Structure 1
């Protein structure tokens, strides 16, 4: 029961991340009218980093760096470079040539590229249902590039840049998966702060004019919610669902972004646009209704992360514990073989035959 609740929390976290990020895309499109892409990307991530940093200070009453293996620091730096610097810059540039509704749906490519990298490079398991869902999402994204699918006649530099942003974030998602057991506020806050400083620094170096204080505040609020809080929820989902499944849940974000762009900004649509929406919806549904269960073996592992005492956490404590869950401390897992529904979370990284 505790494990099922943990999975449900991870699913809600993924959907919450999708809702916040999806809403940020048309809002960022609107903000682009008043500032260059590189500066807006920097402000969005600065808002994320500063906001999450203040949240950590309020939670911990101090600023302490969690203990991480050296290899995890490398994964975090790679995630920051691709996801915090290159990804948002490509998206902001792409939005200057692409309608927000079309860009929002093209962002579904992130889920596909995330899954392909997770399966091919990082050896996360996949079955026919998941692959079919991803194929439908790819077809829907390709449909958007056909003439008449939106007010953009064909695939152009704008949509190519949005696709490049998706690839950057797909790499970022798989790199972040490697550090998902670490404090999510620290991971997301560090990424936001470093990425924000780099992008704002580039903007100042090329001589971009600084916007007004109200505009800066608005951009940073959008960044805090759409990039900061969204990323915290995404890291929590990675911890419980694995990379490909989290990406699938997160692929609901473009529907939210497209709906806001159409309803709030009156952007035109066509029957091909709605056909793409239908294909994406079916693809996401296939992921949401997945059930994965088989006999599997857990190898010994020692790590630190928030947990409850479920079937995977039957350790004793060598310290005083008040019985509250979830709680965080270093703990060891002994070998166990059993069968139950599961996702490729931080405890289920086994191979499949």
Structure 2
């Protein structure tokens, strides 16, 4: 992308302006979002002309960010309050099309708070060591999966695609190690998830993180959007670290991934912490800046014999006899402190 002053766009004052040919998938018109928010738009033509470039600006800014493409994917930063996002397309013979999208940026107080000295690992979805395996703990169903980097749909240009084929409500667990830190006790999982029409085949979407503590035990920070119960669930160890019994508990927070808007990016943020014994406090979850508090503390330490590691799981549970859902993950970042 490049950002240019309005002088570059002088011809727009002489060209016909339209918006009918611009499709803005995200953000929704008049929606409340957190900053940064995802912009996803395309325009194959503008006033019967082939589109040569697209771009966007905010409010009365004299700067427009431009890409030489028929689509634009970006993260847009804005201060809290009401704004107008101007999504633009330029035809190859001078036509100009504009779609104005009003958005409200939620106040910072409703967003997760991360200390300035927190450590963050970004772009986790781009790591090359992602693997997939059928999750036998989800029942008798079977699954196979594949994962690869794609540039569409995408915010960063490096989205990870997960394509799962299942039978009898099988589940595929995708996972990757992204470092090691035995000392951190607070975490924020921060990711963008894109669903298409195949999301109707997804029962649960699970987003976990595992950490090995100084005593060698592994803490499982397990969180899933449970489409069966319509709740956010969290993991507990109902046994002991040496003789564990991994269970899901329902929270009072609502969630069903099949109700999420399709063909759109969704911002998912989950905060939790642990103590030195591996008791996990599940704090809050945000989806598109809608905060729900979990407020639950449970034991979640397991004696797995792992070497020091930080690992994240992204699990897709199938719904029904068979299906092939596809889901996308971008800008995956984990903060720790």
TM-score range, shorter chain: under 0.3
More strand by share: 2
Rg larger for = 2
TM-score, L = length of structure 1: 0.23
TM-score, L = length of structure 2: 0.24
Higher RCO (CA-CA < 8 Å; seq separation 6+):
1
